[in-house]
Amino acid sequence: MNAALGGETDGSAAAVRRRIRCGELTGQTSGLAPGKVQGNVAILPADWADEFLRFCLQNPKPCPVLAVGRPGRPELPSLGEDIDIRSDVARYRVFERGREVASPTDISAYWREDLVTFVLGCSFSFEWALIEAGLRLRHIERGSVVPMYRTSIATEPTERLSGPMVVSMRPFRPADAIRAIAISNRFPGVHGAPVHIGIPASIGITDLDRPDFGERIEIRGDELPVFWACGVTPQAVIEKARPPFFISHFPGSMLITDLANAALAV
């Protein structure tokens, strides 16, 4: 077994995946299988896979690669011995030429022999570290999806893939923001330190009350908005490129792995 796998607590992640596989859990996965790495999912035809991997390597903040599957194979053994990517995500989005055509809880009917699965690091891992350090996250306390915004920060393009970075936002008092920066910086494989703090207009965000993805959360008078690179970035970039076929996770519904969050710290 991979040394980074969570040992005797692996069953909790596997049990949650079984519930997802059976259709018992179809919503957001934040807070499920505490301490386990959750990942963003992108599934592309093989003739787009090499370019997408190159895009991710050029843009590691929003696109940190945790695992790449083999063409046509649904398993991801480095992330969990029993994972089946066709059924183990709570909800998916299926696109044809940039248009969403379905949001199923199982993609077996859409699976093809040329599909390559990518799992990218997710902010849930550094959120776990923030909570462990005693920092409060309002969207988790509310049971909502973190607000996410398209920005004016350009990604490094490839031939067919380009577009702005998407960021997620969490409000903190200044002293807690400093702690959050230091803690998340230890997790470069899951977005690392924030990309911006404070003035949203300077990164192209005109209205914090109107996120492009997720749900609005309150920013109190003594708080600063803190922005992290977000794993929705590659999804937005791929939608813009309009490949013939593409599958992603539904925002907030991630792949739960057997990896321990603590194993990703540096």
Pick from 12-16, 153-157, 220-224: least confident: 12-16
Provide the mean pLDDT of the chain.
92
CATH architecture for the domain at 124-233: 2-Layer Sandwich (3.30)
- pLDDT tens across 42-92, in order? 999 999 999 999 999 999 999 999 999 999 999 999 999 899 999 999 999
- pLDDT tens across 128-173, in order? 899 999 999 999 898 888 999 999 999 999 999 999 999 999 999 9
> Over the chain, what HEC string results?
CCCCECHHHHHHHHHHHHHHHCCCCCCCCCCCCCCEEEEEEEEEEHHHHHHHHHHHHHCCCCCCEEEECCCCCCCCCCCCCCCCCCCCECCEEEEECCEEEECCCCCHHHCCCCEEEEEEECCHHHHHHHHHCCCCCHHHHHCCCCCEEEEEEECCCCCCCCCEEEEEEEEECHHHHHHHHHHHCCCHHHCCCCCEECCHHHHCCCCCCCCCECCCCCCCCCCEEEEEECCHHHHHHHHHHCCCCEEEECCCCCEEEEEEHHHHCC
Task: Give which of 140, 117, 162, 105 is closest to 214, Cα–Cα.
Answer: 140
Contact present, 153 and 204 (Cβ < 8 Å)? yes
Q: How confident is the model at residue 116 (pLDDT cuts 50, 70, 90)?
A: very high
Entry pTM: 0.89
Question: What is the topology classification, in CATH, of domain 7-122+235-264?
Answer: PSTPO5379-like (3.40.1640)
Identify the pLDDT of residue 11.
42
Amino acid (1-letter code) at residue 260: A
Domain assignments of the chain as residue spans, ordered by start:
7-122+235-264, 124-233
Average pLDDT over residues 202-222: 95
